[in-house]
Amino acid sequence: MKKVVKKNQPQRTQRKISLGPRFLRAFEFAAKNHKGQTRKASTIPYIAHLMGVASLVLEAGGDEDLAIAALLHDVVEDCGGAPMLKEVRRRFGARVAKVVEGCTDADTFPKPPWQARKEKYIRHLKAADADTKLVSAADKLNNVRSILSDYRAIGESVWSRFNGGREGTLWYYRTLRDVFLRHERNRITRELELAVQELDALAGGDPTSNGR
């Protein structure tokens, strides 16, 4: 009997991914540096987000370096700035540091104004390497899924948590979706596209709008 192959079926990696002591050290490093931090307007420990991003990266076929970068993708932005990047490079190597840097939209405090910072990050992401795009897309997917969950629970008040408000936040994730979809699609970018579509539908937004 001839086997039927479904089109557009997500491809799972057949390569075995090994996670060793470096990954455990990265988890401990992330947990220590993000200790006391929570997700926006919640009591959820911030490490939950980092674990979620690492899980998405691994499910999409990312290797140990990329899983480590996923755990550490916010450590420069939220836990020490440029000196922290040097520490990441020293502890976990140049490839991990490059991806962490590529996922960072500010390494100074206070951060630059929200709109200019996000526009600069989008420009940077367009030219970023595949490793950075994979981890960044996983980060954004995890964020959008959290927004969706919170929106279902509390409705429009969810937008007060974000510097960009309703319109700015929708613009940002629509634009990121479009940037990722210009390149080769993968498990994460397909899921991000669906999540942003769902957010638009729930929020009653116009997906063709630039949001500003």
SS3 assignment, position 161 = helix
Number of neighbours of residue 137 by Cβ within 10 angstroms: 27
CB 163 within 8 A of CB 118: no
What is the rounded distance in angstroms from the CA atom of residue 128 to the CA atom of residue 103?
9
**118 DSSP 8-state letter:** H
Catalytic-labelled residue, pool 78, 107, 119, 198:
78
What is the rounded distance in angstroms from the CA atom of residue 81 to the CA atom of residue 68?
18
Please confirm, yes or no, whether 77 is among the known catalytic residues. yes
Alpha helices per DSSP H over the chain: 21-33, 47-59, 64-71, 75-79, 82-92, 94-102, 114-126, 130-154, 165-181, 187-203
Catalytic-labelled residue, pool 65, 74, 77, 150:
77
Which residue shows structure tokens 């959008």? 144
Q: Which residues are catalytic?
A: 77-78
